[in-house]
Amino acid sequence: MTAGITLGLLVAAGAALVVQNLLMAKITGAASSVLMALLMNSAVGLVLLSALILRKTGMNGFSEIAGMFRLWFVIPGILGTFFVYASITGYQSVGATPTIATLVASQLLFGLAWDMSRSNSLTSNGILPAAIGVALLVAGAILIVSRFR
């Protein structure tokens, strides 16, 4: 996949995430709890992914999952559910823009910290542009969030 196609995919995913969160906030408003929207979201995802695995590999895909499963494999699902819960709560409480700004800034900040912790060749020339970019994005997120208070 080319870099251009990958970036296009990421832009489409960003737009889809906004639509998903708006719809899930609406579902939550009609349900007794945000948990109902989360469960529906997860159930639809599970059915869709199961159908894709069945189509691609048949029952062998499920055998592969069962054979390679480790208990720590549940952690990404827990973290993903937490992310969706926080997003829905943010959309309902403070709106789409502050929620997105806060999520993006925190992802970039922690992503940079992760990359730096794994790098064997840290130099101030290499880190400085990224650190300035993160600082500008965090400052922008603070400006956006403060506008909506």
The 10s digit of each residue's pLDDT in 69-82 is 999 999 999 999 99
What the block records as the tokens of 95 is 């709106």
Per-residue pLDDT for the chain (149 aa), expressed as one digit of tens each? 899 999 999 999 999 999 999 999 999 999 999 999 999 999 999 999 999 999 999 999 999 999 999 999 999 999 999 999 999 999 999 999 999 999 999 999 998 889 888 877 777 677 788 889 889 988 998 998 888 76
Distance in angstroms (rounded) separating the CA atoms of residues 108 and 129: 13
The residue written with tokens 């999520």 in the block is 103
**pLDDT tens figures, 17-40:** 999 999 999 999 999 999 999 999
User: Cβ neighbours of residue 92 under 8 Å, at least 6 residues apart?
Assistant: 25, 28, 29
